[in-house]
Structure 1
Amino acid sequence: MALDTETLKELIGTVERFVRERLRPLEHQVSQDDAVPAPVRQEIADLGLFGLSIPEEYGGLGLSMEEEVRVALELGRTSPVFRSLIGTNNGIGSQGLIMDGTEAQKRKYLPRMATGDLISAFALTEPEAGSDAGSLRTTAQRTEMGYVLNGTKRFITNAPHAGVFTVFARTDSKKSGSRGVSAFLVEAGTPGLSLGAIDKKMGQKGSHTSDVIFDNCEVPFDALLGEVEGQGFRTAMKVLDRGRLHISSICVAMAERLIDDSLRYAAERKQFGQPIAEFQLVQAMLADSKAEAYAARCMVLETARQKDAEMDVSTEAACCKMFASEMVGRVADRAVQIHGGAGYMEEYGIERFYRDARLFRIYEGTTQIQQLVIARNMLKSLS
């Protein structure tokens, strides 16, 4: 454990109170405005939440995987937009740099990421390369001065606010698939880098994504992550286990929030002279949701402990992501059903969570990709 028991307990308690007293009352406003208020963003930074997983030597909290999961299990009990604000700095936007960056690159970027002064973004997905990341078309042509990047990235989380992008581009056109792909650290404002319009999404309003466009964008040699060509796809894959566990814990937290809201509503809402919580079919929906959320919580915590023990958790992390993201979708659907007509109305917030939850089955690897990862790893274990 990176933190002693008492310090971790204090951190979790602080996050729980912050979510309950500060963030939850803002959920509707953030959704309506499609923006997180600047003062709230600063409060999140002051709590150190931008640097949960960044090592202490670079200004972060340096939490272990289990500690990060436990914090996320509290942070996720509100709109996922707030988590998304810090998500890239703690996950895919920083972990590649932490794992494979040079010391100079780490010292240049990580301290500012830890404080939230610098927002990072992970630019992998393209218009024709999502789950099939090996087919990306963005190129990085080597020159005497460095590299010239050309291509478009799509649906990039936090792109409109990012100060630095981890960009994946093909440096060797002769190598097919994932081979010949390298990662670059490209700063916002670099000539040739531009952004598309902010995407209008089904849910998670307040969390912004957009295209990132490279048009003869010149970067120096030291922008190459780790200053090694051809390691980009390997870097991308290495960050996935932690990212999948983090997202899984957010799914669990959202499910638990929905279960609490549904239980309270069912205990208060009366039909036929009694609370609907007394009806067995409503009880069945509550029980199914409770059991599934509990199973997902246990899966995530156990896998986090295994990762901290330096075990290979590729299969288990994929299991967590697949089960937890599908589970929260079912829980959200039941929550709408338990609330009845109220669940379809904006003022209760249940319909918002229903829309927000749908994204979890898509990003950080779709459910179908998780199935492939799990099955292929199972087959490999036979050899």
Structure 2
Amino acid sequence: MDSLNGSAVVVGAYEHPGRRLPGHTIAGIHREVVAGALADAGLSPSDVDGFFTDSTAPGFGVIDLTQHLGLNCTYTESSEMGGASYVAFVGHAAAAIAAGKCRVAVISLAGLPAQGQKISPPDTPAPVAAYQVNGYGGGYGPVADYAVLARRHMHEFGTTPEQLASVKVASSRHAVHNVNAYQQGAVTIDDVLSSALIADPLHKLDCCVVTDGGGALVVAHPDVARELGRSGAILRGHGEGHKASIAGEVDLTHSAIRRSGELAFAEAGVTPAHIRYASLYDSFTITVLIALEDLGFCARGEAGPFVEDGGLVSGSGRLAVNTDGGGLSNNHPGNRGGMTKVIEAVRQLRGEAHPAVQVPDLEWAVASGTGFRLSNNHYSSTIVLERFA
């Protein structure tokens, strides 16, 4: 199969309701979310023959984890693309299904960063090596890295702190309808700008939340999906891309999302004009502005005006974005927000988002994620989904 368009359907999705989980284990969270996603799909562990997760899987990775979950798989993947991983895995699962390697794949995420769990072991040399090669911002932490992006976007296009704050305001207005959201109250632009300045121009409320938890997806062959009779989201387009800053020599105001989005839209045969809901990675407010431009929802340099005046608020804005509250207000489990981006896109396409934020008669949705830091080496994956009924 040359294209993944129509090759697989997301038939199950589950987001762990917890945001602070002391006393839990990574394996235990995987068990909970996989059980939840399979129940949502109407399937059992014995139906699963494919499994996908990231590099933090405990023990001997998928070898131990699939045993713990009671899965007997003919195809597995345990790889690392940071926050882009769980958007990319939907495409990877579809490719395995299209190749006949499996028919029902589970994609599972679990993390405990709020309990002190690290993204990678403390002695892992890869990040240090990357910073030595690129020489850009790595030693100052992720907020400083994204502050560089925000400041450059301001310099190039006149973007304002108020426009950045508008992204957080929209996410908080959505999160008030999500009983599980980590931050429940709606905030104003003044609230964002008066919160602590972490790395100029980014304030505390420009930064995503840090949460425990996880989620899982069940991706199945279309024949399986039809037998289940469950609504879902059929994959129409999938794209991935990589970009490096080369010590700042490459323009910092665009990201690998540009390439992943081009590929996904081309495979799906649609354009951004077809999309009324988008799940966009929101590690920081500036991440959303760059994604809007790179995906073609607005022209280069125009994301600031695009998000003003509630531009991302469902029901009244230009484009409904992150209607669960996103990583800025709801959940960023395991520091890998791609999972929740796909879950909310599936909810929207099923018509199962909260009525206050549900996009009516939704046919198409986009989910996009980025991994690692946009000011440095990073990865992106984007998928285009269509309602499956």
Instruction: Indicate whether the TM-score tops 0.5.
Output: no
State TM-score, norm by structure 2. Answer: 0.24
State TM-score, norm by structure 1. Answer: 0.24
Structure having the higher Rg? 1
Structure with the higher strand share, 1 or 2: 2
